Amino acid sequence: MQSRLEEGEENKVQMLVDEKGVNIPTTGTGTDLTRTSSPSTCTTATATCTTTSSRALQQRLFSLLQRKQQPTLKHVTQIHAQILINGFSRTKNFLLVHLLSFYSNSSAHHLLSAHYVFKDIQSPSTILWNQMIRAHARSQTPAKSIQFFNQMLLTDSRPDAHTYSFLLAACTSSLSLREGQQVHSKVLTNGYYSSNVFLMSKLVNFYAAVVGGEGAALASARKVFDDMSERNVVCWNSMLAGYMRRGNLDGARRIFYEMPERNVVSWTTMISGYAKNGKCKQALNLFDQMRKAGVELDQVVLLAALTACAELGDLKMGMWIHSYIQDTFVGSNQRVLVSLNNALIHMYASCGMIDEAYEVFRWMPERSAVSWTSLITAFAKQGYAQAVLEIFRSMQRLGTSEARPDGITFIGVLCACSHAGLVDEGRQLFKDMIQRWGIKPRIEHYGCMVDLLSRAGFLDEAQELIATMPVKPNNAVWGALLGGCRFYRNAELASLVSQKLVAEPDPDKAAGYLSLLAQVYASAEKWQDVATVRQKMVAMGVKKPAGQSWVQINEVVHDSVSVDKTHKNTSSIYEMLGKIHQASKVERL
């Protein structure tokens, strides 16, 4: 029975050996996998014996593929090899169909094997085309779903509602608006639009997902949503997410309060959307409502709430969330997300609780590069430059992908060097970032280096760095150099820098730079130049922007602007600011 493999089949067997790294038993080895009447025992018998053995082997392979307990990848690979070795791939579709089902429903790593199997199936049915389309829709190559669909249209197989559902999932993953619109047209043409609620839900989700790059898509999502005779919570959540992606908070709020029922995804979408759009107070207010409503808090919504806590400096709520995480997830079967622990580090650091941030990091069962970067940024913000460098050295010593520094890591380290005046260390780190780690400097890295050199008095070197930068310097870079000019009273260079900054279209930002320039002239006792700058500010209609502060009084966070006296707690806020000012004066003494 065992005949020489055709060249194509031999290559496929070799592919299985190379890709899966398993031993391929040949027919007649007597293994549990293929134990049956060995074809080798029939070598001197009649053709009937050969046919019987072949049929028995086919049935054996088929039964193995149909087991209730799903076979392992190793076993399926061996079965696949037996199918190829015995020539069943050219005649026995029923074996290939089950083999394809395994590969296409497994991880994306098995897609190549699925392709090989699919090519051998004669006249694949709609179900088999759908399996390949769905497999790619779930993979890192969703665009290939469209390719399979186009090939399918050239055959006798006809797409059904499942086909369009998988295609819409692929278009959603790849944010392919044009292709998704074409699928929408097919859904309309084939009469599925008004009769299939599931497909309409997929359409809403698709249009809501691509609204970030196309505003008209939100209107399309709303049109399909309004056309639905019945809606489930998934549709409502899709619309909610669509409004949030466009930054339409009022539209999202209306959808949220119109929802007949809400789940944890509904609450999370609103809270996360508020936080991402800078409405952190509203985010925490809604989070408090969610708690009082008795909705179970998952790690995703806790992550969103922690982001808002960090922005507002709401230590009380942040500590409550930390306690909830420890009581609910630590010690349970559900592991705490690395990103959630990273958010805790960021929250504590933003509230000035550096020891607590370090404790979270120290007890993390697993860390990512973001974990290390979060800790580095935390210590850098508090001015602990030596601690930052030691953490960075520990990160380098690990040498793993989970501890590989990235561009953001170097921003934190360079920032620490800048504030501590560690010029030599900063120069070396900048060099290592490029040469050792292969990270191309961004404008933020150049800004850190200009700030480092300007603070230390190396104004000429800072100016030369700006002149040789491969990217156009922004106002932050020029502002850093201007700050150095003020400290070292270099009015001449400050005048040159100011010419780059006065073109700033934002009056508030221009006011800050001009005010800084006036201080440079004042420190150099160039009073005529000070007057000229002040006159320019008046002519531009700008004034120095007022500062904004957050103060926690009686465990409630209040924000105020220095010139604003309308806040109901103005007296308490200014009393607290006065105490802070006095404490800082005592500390300086």
The model's pLDDT over 226-279, given as tens digits with 9 standing for 90+, comes to: 999 889 999 999 999 999 999 999 999 999 999 999 999 999 999 999 999 999
Distances (CA, A) of 316 to 280, 378, 403, 557: 15, 19, 31, 9
For residue 514, pLDDT beyond 90: no
Q: Are 98 and 112 in contact (CB under 8 A)?
A: no
Q: Which of 102, 100, 133 is nearest to 119 (CA)?
A: 100
What is the structure's pLDDT at 65? 55
Q: Does pLDDT of 479 surpass 70?
A: yes
Nearest to 522 by CA among 554, 497, 494, 542: 494
Structure confidence at residue 93 (pLDDT): 56
pLDDT at 262: 94
> Residue 558: which H helix or E strand, with range?
strand 556-561
- Asked whether residue 12 carries a pLDDT value surpassing 60, the answer given is no
Share of the chain above pLDDT 90, in %: 51
Name the least confident of 23-27, 78-82, 372-376.
23-27
The C-alpha angle with vertex 492 and arms to 469 and 425, in degrees rounded to 5, equals 45
For 186, half-sphere exposure in the C-beta direction (CA atoms, 13 angstrom radius) is 21
Pairing of strands 556-561, 548-553: antiparallel
Q: How high is the mean pLDDT of the chain?
A: 80
pLDDT of amino acid 424: 97
Residue 16: which pLDDT band, with cuts at 50, 70 and 90? very low
Query: Would the pLDDT of 202 be above 80?
Result: yes
- The whole-number pLDDT of residue 99 equals 67
pLDDT reported for residue 123 = 85
| Pairwise pLDDT comparison (551 vs 2), residue with the higher score | 551
Name the residue type at position 54. S
**Cα–Cα distance for residue pair 467/473, rounded to 1 Å:** 9
Supply the pLDDT for residue 448. 96
CB atoms within 10 A of CB 399: 8
pLDDT digits (tens, 9 = 90+) for 38-72: 434 434 333 344 455 656 655 655 555 555 456 55
Q: How sure is the predictor about 15, in pLDDT bands with cuts at 50, 70 and 90? A: very low
Exposed/middle/buried for residue 301 (C-beta within 10 Å: 0-12, 13-18, 19+):
buried
Residue 555 has pLDDT above 70, yes or no: no
**Position 81 confidence tier, pLDDT thresholds 50, 70, 90:** low
The pTM of the full predicted model, rounded to 2 decimals, is 0.71
